[in-house]
Structure 1
Amino acid sequence: MEVRVPSMELHRSPPFLSGGRGKFFLHKPFLVQAKRLEGLEKANKRSRGTQSSEEVKKRAPLTRGTVSPPLPVPGHITQPPYVGKKDTPEIASEIQMHDKVSIVHMKAACELAARVLEHAGTLVKPSVTTDEIDKAVHKMIIDAGAYPSPLGYGGFPKSVCTSVNECMCHGIPDSRELQDGDIINIDVTVYLNGYHGDTSKTFLCGEVDDASKRLVRVTEECMLRAISACKHGTSFKKIGRRISEHAERHGFSVVECFVGHGVGRIFHSEPIIYHQRNNGPGQMVEGQTFTIEPILSMGSIECDMWDDGWTAVTTDGSLAAQFEHTILITKTGAEILTKC
């Protein structure tokens, strides 16, 4: 999940962390349907270089369904400190470092998050509702003795984020049924034994057109290329450069208003991970954990926020995809903790 923080580079507008709203959050009105349809038409006509013959399947604009009440969590399960508080927590300034003991706990939380995400992906099919996915995720997490981190974070009402088609991130599960040809990002975070494990993946629903498949594939490649550049002493800005180079090579845009973050005992902390080219300071340190979670768009990288305060959609209705891993920095590289 994401929170808004001051910009670190080039006078760009302040980004959000992938997973919350933040104290500078501004509500924006619901986009009119005509604007979204216009964006889809533009996306259909965009050049794709060597794959310019690809066409994006025309879809109806994303609509909201009925949001059911939050699911209960048994009293014996430890809750994060932000649960029950109205305000969204600020980004913690501390860098979350780990010793041998805390790494064991961190790995356990991340391993559970990865298993939950893979199970959620098996549920993605036409006619399934995102609310059904939320219920399945919630049950699997509490059955493991963990807490679903999104639930109650700054008032978020569900246990997982489900972002469909033009939704960049933070989609709230509801009664809307998935359609054949949709793409959906499922963002799972669990809180186990005092540690958060955070991961997400974009899944294909039914028969998906080639252009959308390519967006999803390239987004995952961007994330993995960024991770491969990480090790002790490497500049954080190398992450954005790796992602931007690969995305641009394939004709996609990197969303700049959402970023990765430190994760561990605290859900969101420094360092802030920018996914686009930037001049941000800082170097990676052995023993720290953070997320890399790029969002790529077929069109606009600007977002509009629904009046639920969470759902972020592309301003032109073009498709967006996201992938996320939690990684541990080592002397020689980076260990993916949320890899199944």
Structure 2
Amino acid sequence: MVYLKTDEEIELLRESNLLVAKTLGELAKVIKPGVTTLQLDKIAETFIRDHKGVPGFLNYQGFPNTLCTSVNDQVVHGIPNDKPLNDGDIVSIDCGVLLNGFYGDCAYTFEVGQVDEKIRRLLQTTKESLYKGIEQAFEGNRLGDIGHAVQTLCESRGYSVVREMVGHGIGRKLHEPPEVPNYGRKGSGIKLRKGMVIAVEPMINLGKRDIKMWNDNWTISTIDKSISAHYEHTIAIGKNEADILSSFKFVEEVLTLQS
């Protein structure tokens, strides 16, 4: 059952998602070689709680941390640890927040130090594909139109789309129907309606699309050890276009100052 949100609920969802966006902006300030993902996790938890939110992932179905931090060939759901990040790494940071009864969810893949140009192009395409998908997220279109847009762009550039991990509806629960695949046929799937709120999150690999789960029962990585990128926005379906409730603005302001 897909739950349509009222305008008031969408504004509460926007507040939750802006807190996630600001949290990612705080992390952008400190990501560099030598920093550990556990340090990032503590910064995020403190920032969220200081702004009257609750970490959305912490203890969710047993997940042990505030952030999912997925490094290099890890696709999603990496568990923060005390291993320092190295120059040339990438780290996808997925963050969730519960505020005023509603969840926010957003992810960004960060470069650590000087990253290989081939990997930078993967990141660029993955982020671009997120917005291509969002362009299709308006009333009357279908779920498959979003996935088709993501898949078409990424595969046209020689990358592969992870099939098993998908986006999702979001609201009073972190994961609600419908599932939002990053592949699909135009005109397939359920019809999009105003008031639907979904998280669109392409997970795109430099190599093959096949993935495996680690023994920790959380971390997902590529089988061929190829690099994987991940970006996510929470959006509300509108009459003529999507309303992006999360934001990369705070991250990109920091990255622009650093460059």
The two structures have a TM-score, normalised by structure 2, of 0.93
The residue number in structure 2 matching 1:233 is: 140
The residue number in structure 2 matching 1:155 is: 62
Distance 1:230 1:108 in 2: 21
Q: Is the 8 A contact 2:7 2:195 kept in 1?
A: no
The residue number in structure 2 matching 1:142 is: 49
Distance 1:290 1:192 in 2: 17
Distance 1:191 1:265 in 2: 9
1:122 aligned to 11, 15, 29, which one? 29
Give the C-alpha shift of residue 121 in structure 1. Answer: 2.0
Distance 2:3 2:213 in 1: 30
Cα deviation, 1:192-226, whole Å, max 9, x if unaligned, reads: 01000100000100000100000000000000001
Q: Is the 8 A contact 1:120 1:186 kept in 2?
A: no
Distance 2:82 2:66 in 1: 15
Superposed structure 1 runs of 4+ greater than 3 Å apart: none
Q: Is the 8 A contact 2:222 2:228 kept in 1?
A: yes
Distance 2:28 2:191 in 1: 34
The residue number in structure 1 matching 2:195 is: 287
The residue number in structure 2 matching 1:202 is: 109
State, as a whole percentage, how many aligned pairs show the same letter. 36
Higher helix share: 2
Cα deviation, 1:238-281, whole Å, max 9, x if unaligned, reads: 11111111101211001111000000111101111010124852
Distance 1:323 1:335 in 2: 17
Letter in 2 for 1:266: K
Cα deviation, 1:271-327, whole Å, max 9, x if unaligned, reads: 110101248520110011001001110112111111111011100100000000000
The two structures have a TM-score, normalised by structure 1, of 0.71
The residue number in structure 2 matching 1:306 is: 214
Distance 1:124 1:306 in 2: 25
Note the 1:262-281 alignment, pairs <5 A. Answer: 262-278=169-185, 280-281=188-189
Give the C-alpha shift of residue 122 in structure 1. Answer: 2.1
Letter in 1 for 2:202: P
Letter in 2 for 1:285: R
SS in 2 for 1:275: coil
Q: Is the 8 A contact 1:96 1:263 kept in 2?
A: no
- Aligned residue pairs total 247
Distance 2:75 2:37 in 1: 15
Note the 1:251-270 alignment, pairs <5 A. Answer: 251-270=158-177
Gap regions ≥5 residues in structure 2: 250-259
Distance 1:312 1:245 in 2: 23
The residue number in structure 1 matching 2:232 is: 324
Note the 1:29-108 alignment, pairs <5 A. Answer: 94-108=1-15
**Structural RMSD (CA):** 1.0
The structure with the largest alpha-carbon Rg is 1
Give the C-alpha shift of residue 117 in structure 1. Answer: 1.2
The residue number in structure 2 matching 1:33 is: none
Distance 1:300 1:176 in 2: 27
Distance 1:333 1:122 in 2: 32
